[in-house]
Chains A and B, each alone.
Chain A
Amino acid sequence: MSAVPNTARLTTGRDTGPVVSARDLRAWYRLSMFGVVREVKAVDGVSFEIRSDEIYGLAGESSSGKSTLVKTIAGAIRPPLEIVGGEIAFNFMAGTDGLHRASGEVAGQVRWRHLSYVMQGSMSVLNPVRRVRASFADFAFRHMGLDRAGFEAAVVSHLARVNLEASVLDAYPHELSGGMRQRVTIALATICRPNFVIADEPTTALDVVVQKEVLGMFRGIQREMGSSVLFVTHDMGVHAHLTDRLGIMYAGRLVEEARTRDLFARPRHPYTRHLIESLPRIGDDKLRRGLEGSPPSLADPPDGCRFHPRCSFATERCRREVPAMTPVGLDHRVACFERDRVEASQ
């Protein structure tokens, strides 16, 4: 299988090109009921790149399309979800066009070996009626090219990276705490040293003390492996402390993207600015105001900029035209016609 060399990690080395690039991606849910076609434009024209050795954060609220974007990138496309347009390319699948168009054989070799996932619910990843050891064998054994003894040794030494002892292999998932289970799923997702890891709200179900511990280990493993990560969470506090670059999604579109530090220091999109300003902080006595209104329905989104009904900067142009992502600085892009006014008002 020449398209998927097993030595990709060795040959890419200090590769500077993007590991993942998506161009004008459109993924819609198409429902046909009684001859009436209803389209939900969950991902509508999203372009971005994830570079090698970085954690790319994706923030957005429920129904902003982030889960659909994750499904599309992972190639988990099932009706009624359809990829209507655009392209996804992975550097470890040179010459092919995303996982969703790959054959079952190629996809089987890429998944877990080159692209793996950490999900929110560790209970739905680990088989509840089998010991943790069996989950490792199911997911990773065939990709590692080791014999049984060698595989066991590799698993044990990898578990040590997330501070877990070999004894967890003999445990059933329900015997472990939530934090331990999530560390097992992180170990499971990274044992094959994948080029690219998708982490979808991996710490949202954990409480703050455990979350801090798990995020520290996650960064440690990423640093050691040099993997690229797409880290999805609605928690802006997590993004501030973990991600290298950050994209903000609103109603199916990317509205701003920058290095995380720059995005927090100088947000240019009114929505980003609101997200950051509405966070209460300990020691700050100002009572935060919420944003009026609700995110739009993706089955019937407003014309023009989709944020305009909730935006205090909106003009007539925002109601008619869709703003394109425009560079406003180093690694900083924003989709807003009124970006200069937004910035001047800070």
Chain B
Amino acid sequence: MTQALLELATVSKTFSRGGFLSRERVEAVVDVSFRLDGDRAEIFSIIGESGSGKSTIARMILALQAPTAGHVRFRGRDLAELRAEDERTAFMAAVQPVFQNPFEAFNPLKRMDRYLFMTCRRFTGLHDEAEIHAAADAALQQVGLTLAEIRGRYPHELSGGQLQRVAIARALASNPSLLVADEPVSMVDASLRASIVALFRKLCDELGLSIVYITHDLATAYSISDRIIIMQKGRMVESGDARTVLADPKHPYSRKLKESVLEPLAPGETPMFAR
């Protein structure tokens, strides 16, 4: 077996809240295991309702939070053992996040190009200004933008879809091998959503970039994923090939989730809430 790109081995995360006397424990993630192969890029979707632990998994993969039990390994290295500065930097370059709300992800007083230049400078080892600009432009071209378009622009001058493209370009600037996208299209307008989702597929196929796609939207997950897992209350209730699982979900919760999706009607279908 080749080395896994990412491996979660019986990972659990428990948060405790409350005071000294009345301590309440919340099991956000319970015994989750999965692995992404190192030699084949794929889009791996994590689906679940709010509070199902999807974002906690994302934070643990990004090493922003340590699991209470179990191990998260990236290329065989346990994230809990990443101590040295250069090791952490190399990890951050290889695993990059894209967050949900592009309007909150960027400082409104800071020009958009700065984020790209900063990422290039820190992670690619480039020092020459012209080289940095060329690298930023190359990253932007991957997402269908150019440096000339966003040079000197502030976040409020761009639409949600453009901002999210810049966020993805910024993540690509460090030449990562894994992208963790936590609800990346839920704040993006419907007419632009399809193009961002298609962009993920393109990046996976053309750059060989593996993507962990976290969403509650079954339809977009179906359209781009290779494999999915369905989470409920911190537990994995179903997993497998995306098409197979979503075409015929087995677990009662997965079924309920699929039945609740409101899709445009096919001819002859009746609306769920007709007059």
Contact = CB atoms under 8 A, between A and B. Distances in A.
Interface of A: 54-55, 61-63, 178, 207-212, 215-216, 218-219, 223, 234-238, 240-242, 244, 260-261, 264-265, 271, 274-276, 278-285, 287-292, 294-295
Q: Which 9 A-B pairs rank lowest in CB-CB distance, beginning with the nearest?
A: A290-B195, A237-B262, A288-B194, A61-B189, A219-B273, A207-B49, A280-B223, A294-B159, A290-B194
B264 A289 contact: no
A237 B265 CA distance: 8
Contacts, number: 139
A282 B49 contact: no
A262 to B, nearest CB: 12
Contacts of B162: 294
Given A216-B272, A289-B195, A290-B191, A283 B247 contact: yes
B275 A244 contact: yes
In this complex, the member of B160, B262, B275 whose beta carbon has the largest number of chain A beta carbons within 10 angstroms is B262
B201 A287 contact: yes
Contacts of A278: 190-191, 193-194
A298 to B, nearest CB: 12
Contact of A208 (B49, B190, B224): B49
Contacts of B160: 62
A209 B195 contact: no
A241 B272 contact: yes
B246 A282 contact: yes
A282 B218 contact: yes
6 contacts: A216-B273, A236-B264, A279-B219, A279-B263, A283-B247, A285-B223
Interface string B197-219: 11001000000000000001011
A279 B194 CA distance: 7
Contacts of B141: none
A215 B260 CA distance: 11
A230 B203 CA distance: 41
Nearest to A279: B264
B198 A282 contact: no
A236 B265 contact: no
Interface of B: 49-50, 159-162, 189-198, 201, 216, 218-220, 222-224, 243, 246-247, 256-265, 267, 271-275
Contact of B223 (A62, A208, A274, A288): A288
B264 A281 contact: yes
A287 B224 contact: yes
Given A237-B262, A279-B194, A289-B194, 19 more contacts: A55-B275, A209-B256, A219-B273, A219-B274, A234-B190, A237-B261, A237-B263, A241-B262, A241-B273, A242-B272, A280-B194, A281-B264, A282-B246, A283-B247, A285-B223, A287-B201, A288-B198, A290-B193, A290-B196
Contacts of A236: 190, 264
B192 A291 contact: yes
Contacts of A240: 262-265, 271
Nearest to B192: A290
A244 B260 CA distance: 20
A281 B260 contact: no
Contact of A290 (B198, B218, B222, B273): B198
Contacts of A283: 222, 246-247
A207 B50 contact: yes
Contacts of A261: 265, 271
Nearest to B195: A290
A265 B267 contact: yes
Contacts of A234: 189-190
A212 B272 contact: yes
A211 B260 contact: yes
A280 B264 contact: no
Contacts of A242: 271-273
B247 A61 contact: no
Contacts of B50: 178, 207
A292 B196 CA distance: 11
B192 A294 contact: yes
Contacts of B256: 209
Contacts of A216: 272-273
B264 A207 contact: no
Contacts of B247: 282-283
A216 B222 CA distance: 25
A57 to B, nearest CB: 11
Contacts of B243: 285
Nearest to B157: A297
A178 B193 CA distance: 25
Contacts of A289: 194-195, 198
A278 B258 CA distance: 19
B261 A208 contact: yes
Nearest to B216: A207
A282 B218 CA distance: 7
Given A209-B256, A287-B198, A291-B191, A235 B219 contact: no
Contacts of B274: 219
A295 B158 CA distance: 10
Contacts of A238: 262
Contact of B197 (A211, A271, A280, A284): A280
